[in-house]
């Protein structure tokens, strides 16, 4: 995965999480980090399945 593609995916997921939470102010970092964790876990799961 390219760095740019990764950032775009994190940004999209973080926005989705933010919207689902009712668009609260001052929680952008929380949603960004959660999105990174979710995507990293998904990548790890995909890697295990391909091995």
pLDDT one digit per residue (tens) for the chain, 51 residues: 567 779 999 999 999 999 999 999 999 999 999 999 999 998 666 555 666
Q: With b meaning 16 or more CB within 10 Å and e meaning fewer, what string describes 9-42? A: bbeebbeebbeeeeeeeeeeeebbebbbeebeee
40, HSE (Cβ side, Cα atoms, 13 Å) = 6
For residue 11, the 8-state DSSP code is H
- Polymer length of the chain: 51
> What is the pTM (predicted TM-score) of this model?
0.76
């Amino acid at each position: 995965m390219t760095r740019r593609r990764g950032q775009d995916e994190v940004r999209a997921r973080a926005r989705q999480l933010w919207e689902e939470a009712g668009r609260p102010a001052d929680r952008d970092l929380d949603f960004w980090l959660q999105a990174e964790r979710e995507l990293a876990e998904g990548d790890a799961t995909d890697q295990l399945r391909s091995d």
